[in-house]
């Protein structure tokens, strides 16, 4: 589950990425994540998990994690192979979603590649490279599909959809703006288009503009307008401040944020939004040994969720004993009381897990 950080040069990508790797240093216990120099692993902040660990006096608290991939060096002309264009586009193809950093801070000391701060021009520059690359790929594919369509009806439909997508792309719009039926959306998903990947825009502002979530910054307003055309979320951060925050320990961090009048760091907001963007939810397990959050895709059934913990649990799955986190808290976090009130449900193999389920799986070995 990887997100790629993209953006023009000098917008603050490395600064943000450094904050990510710095913050991620604590979460060195993620054996399932491959650590590469340009991949940062961060814990997904979850207040529910902290609460469970407190109630159960857990020895260990293990949050879930996501990975960010620093895709630096995307410049105008990348789709034509400028710079290391093809390599970067290939990197984007590998990620599940995109974090697009946009410069919204004014700073005479930091040169802008195009001479001035203009978030919409920047967004369009990057998006167009992805769009060009998609058009090229689709046109190659279209040729083959047209041949196949002569004998095959489903290929004929594919041709029609491809032509529709190309038309939208040629208007300079990303494929994610297309409104499609469920089946056609599936079809388009298989094309693995760069411009259809889910996206979050990060508006990188200066410290002064952090108040009111960037409401006083005209550049941020423009980014918000643009993002709304794609139904995309905008997270306002100051990469520089995030880098400072990431170096502090937990208590200092709270004080620092308080001084800035903020409840959560921008990075925490970005991580949580990214998690949601990927369609991920967490279920929780709790006990004196450890309290832990586990990542599943929305729509995952109980046995497959159990399989995240151990394959034996999926194979020998009998039932899940489940309580919603909020229901547990409504009874002071006491499992015994919650059980007496009948709030702990016994669920079978067809149960679809919900975000915040606190679970005990029963299984045969
Ligand atoms: P990248 O090329 O997109 O990776 O950009 P960098 O992260 O290297 O940032 C480029 C320059 O902008 C560096 O000198 C940073 O210190 C500066 N910078 C990054 N974020 C901010 C910010 O929020 N405010 C200000 N004033 N400068 C920033």
Residue where one domain finishes, among candidates 148, 178, 195: 195
| Per-residue model confidence (pLDDT) at position 103 | 94
Report the pLDDT averaged over residues 7-23. 89
Closest-CA residue, ligand 1 atom 25, reads 206
Handedness of CA 52, 55, 58, 61 (dihedral sign): positive
Work out how many domains the chain is built from and give that number. Answer: 3
Q: How does pLDDT run across 39-90, given as a tens digit for each residue?
A: 888 889 899 999 999 999 999 999 999 999 998 766 677 667 665 567 788 8
Q: How does pLDDT run across 218-243, given as a tens digit for each residue?
A: 999 999 999 999 999 999 999 999 99
Alpha-helical runs (H) found in 40-181: 47-55, 85-94, 119-149, 153-170
Closest-CA residue, ligand 1 atom 15, reads 12
Q: Which atom of ligand 1 is nearest to the CA of 11?
A: 3
Q: How does pLDDT run across 104-127, given as a tens digit for each residue?
A: 998 777 777 777 788 999 999 999
Give the CATH number for residue 355: 3.10.20.30
Q: How does pLDDT run across 164-179, given as a tens digit for each residue?
A: 999 999 999 999 999 9
Whole-angstrom distance, CA of residue 302 vs CA of residue 39? 31
Task: Based on the fold, state whether residues 189 and 207 are members of the same structural domain.
Answer: no
Asked whether residue 294 is domain-assigned, the answer is: no
Task: Based on the fold, state whether residues 28 and 72 are members of the same structural domain.
Answer: yes
Give me the percent of the chain exceeding a pLDDT of 90. Answer: 65
Cβ atoms < 10 Å from Cβ of 186: 10
| Per-residue model confidence (pLDDT) at position 27 | 47
Ligand 1 contact via 243 beta carbon (within 6 Å): no
| Per-residue model confidence (pLDDT) at position 84 | 59
Task: Based on the fold, state whether residues 162 and 261 are members of the same structural domain.
Answer: no
Task: Based on the fold, state whether residues 68 and 215 are members of the same structural domain.
Answer: yes
| 298 annotated to a ligand binding site | no
Task: Based on the fold, state whether residues 27 and 102 are members of the same structural domain.
Answer: yes
Task: Based on the fold, state whether residues 135 and 112 are members of the same structural domain.
Answer: no
User: 164: which 2 tokens?
Assistant: 């529709």
User: 323: which 2 tokens?
Assistant: 């309580």
| 14 annotated to a ligand binding site | yes
Per the structure, the complete domain to which residue 15 belongs is given by: 2-45+63-117+197-277
Ligand 1 contact via 214 beta carbon (within 6 Å): no
Task: Based on the fold, state whether residues 208 and 112 are members of the same structural domain.
Answer: yes
Q: What is the mean pLDDT of the chain?
A: 89
| Per-residue model confidence (pLDDT) at position 39 | 86
Asked whether residue 54 is domain-assigned, the answer is: no
């Amino acid at each position: 589950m990887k997100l790629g950080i993209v953006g023009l040069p000098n917008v603050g990508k490395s600064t943000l990425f450094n904050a990510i790797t710095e913050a991620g240093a604590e979460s060195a216990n993620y054996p399932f994540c491959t650590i590469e120099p340009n991949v940062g692993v961060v814990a997904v902040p979850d207040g529910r998990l902290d609460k469970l660990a407190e109630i159960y006096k857990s020895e260990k608290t293990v949050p879930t994690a996501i990975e960010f991939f620093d895709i630096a060096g995307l410049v105008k002309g990348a789709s034509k192979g400028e710079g290391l264009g093809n390599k970067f586009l290939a990197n984007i193809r590998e990620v599940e979603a995109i974090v697009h950093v946009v410069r919204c801070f004014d700073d005479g000391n930091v040169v802008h590649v195009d001479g001035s701060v203009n978030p919409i021009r920047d967004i369009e520059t990057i998006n167009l490279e992805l769009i060009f690359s998609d058009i090229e790929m689709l046109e190659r594919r279209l040729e083959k599909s047209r041949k196949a369509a002569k004998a095959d009806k489903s290929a004929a439909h594919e041709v029609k959809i491809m032509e529709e997508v190309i038309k939208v792309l040629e208007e300079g719009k990303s494929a994610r703006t297309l409104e499609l039926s469920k089946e056609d959306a599936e079809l388009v998903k298989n094309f693995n288009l760069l411009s259809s990947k889910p996206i979050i825009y990060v508006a990188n502002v200066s410290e002064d503009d952090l108040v009111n979530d960037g409401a006083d910054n005209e550049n941020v307003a423009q980014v918000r307008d643009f993002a709304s055309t794609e139904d995309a979320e905008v997270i306002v951060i100051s990469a520089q401040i995030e880098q400072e925050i990431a170096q502090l320990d937990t208590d200092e961090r709270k004080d620092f944020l308080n001084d800035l009048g903020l409840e959560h760091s921008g990075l925490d907001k970005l991580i949580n939004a990214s998690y949601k963007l990927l369609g991920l939810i967490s279920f929780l397990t709790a006990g004196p040994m450890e309290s832990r959050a586990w990542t599943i895709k929305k729509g995952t059934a109980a046995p497959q969720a159990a399989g995240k913990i151990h394959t034996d649990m999926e194979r020998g799955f009998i039932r899940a004993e489940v309580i919603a986190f909020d229901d547990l808290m409504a009874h002071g976090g006491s499992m015994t009381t919650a059980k007496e009130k009948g709030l702990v449900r016994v669920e079978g193999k067809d149960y679809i897990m919900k975000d915040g389920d606190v679970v005990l799986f029963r299984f045969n070995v």
